[in-house]
A and B are shown apart, each in its own frame.
Chain A
Amino acid sequence: MEFGRPEKDILLIDHTLPADGRVTAQVLSAGAAERTKFHVGCAKWGRKEWVGHLYPDKTPEKEFLTEYGKRFDTIEFAASFFTRPDRESMVRWLDRVKLAGNDDFMFIPKVSKEISHISRLENTGELLKDFISAVEGFGPHLGPMLLQLSDSFGTKYFERMKNFVEQLPKEHRFFIELRHENWFSDETSRRKVFELFREYGVGTVITDTSGRRDCLHMELTTPDLYVRFNGNGEEHQAHDRQRVDDWAHRIADWKGRGLKNVYFILSQTKELDTPALAAYAIERFNEQLGAGLKSVVWNP
């Protein structure tokens, strides 16, 4: 089944944000951060459906990234998950963003599935080194990296995970998305894995999707929040916005307790409405949290 797709009526699902995780209470205890930096964006830039709606009429595909960069500061870069990245391609995309004149733009590359899904973190030292060397082509626009693990990568792989995390280079920041249900349902494994991430300064991804509420673990292992928010769109748009409002309330609390960075990435099964939901999140975060993000400019 498609990850996170709900098997029952969305409105019958409890979308309440759970209480803070145990590790969060340890990590966020140092008082308010001097400044919380916000990064809000989408998981795609190249949607033809956005032309005439978000992008100007008749925008050619090769200009989508530049147009995206004029409107958002962050992209979760999934292409590097599907195809092994090369530095030259990264530099070409960086050039497209430079045309947007957005000095704050950040690429968050998703680690190649060769590493996460095929090798499953085993003997991946050289692959990871090559991956990092390639995405360093983004230069100062390189953000943290997202490592998503398969929903078949369960707690029996803890030692493999530990070896991998121990060897991650300290000069880059990583956020790990866990999907196998045992990481959340087995209390011992849950505690061990989040403690491991905290010890090595690796962030966690909190996945907010209707069909897998267990992934909403609310554990921060560094003073940074990375949310992958999957909206349902269409007739559920108001409900999606309520869920964003709930996040704004929680972030306000965490901001007062030392939260340093917020990465809030939005997607939907049908991506047509994703920019509108992202624009709503930006407005809410600006109004309620003083995020200081620029408002999204729509096609006039």
Chain B
Amino acid sequence: MEPFEISALVGNKMERLTVVPQNDAQEQSEYDVYLGSRKARIWTDFSIMGLEWHSADLIAEDTLRNIGLAIEGYDA
């Protein structure tokens, strides 16, 4: 899958982010998300609530959710 761009609310500001899918991830979806030179790796998993987004990087919960929803919207 090729890199793509999304718009997502980061803090209080709508930002344009570059998303690089990690194609070697098999059981789940993994993406590197870039805002300028800042990078976060995020990935999906299931919970009773449905699809959930996770990251080991320092990223606010709301921001992670917004980025995840934007990726879901892109791929939908």
Contacts and interface: CB of A to CB of B under 8 A. Distances in A.
B46 A83 contact: yes
Contact of B51 (A3, A78, A92, A267): A78
Interface in B18-76: 23, 26-29, 44-46, 48-51, 72-76
Interface of B: 1-2, 6, 23, 26-29, 44-46, 48-51, 72-76
Interface size grouping (class) on chain A: 20 to 34
B27 A83 contact: yes
A50 interface: no
B6 A2 contact: yes
A219 B1 CA distance: 28
Interface of A: 2-3, 43-46, 61-62, 64-65, 78-79, 81-86, 89, 92-93, 96, 113-114, 117-118, 150, 152, 267, 269
B49 A62 contact: yes
A118 B1 contact: yes
A150 B23 CA distance: 14
Nearest to A89: B46
A45 to B, nearest CB: 7
7 contacts: A3-B75, A61-B49, A79-B51, A82-B72, A113-B29, A113-B75, A269-B73
B26 A84 contact: yes
Q: Which of B23, B49, B75, B76 has its CB near the most chain A CB atoms (within 10 A)?
A: B76
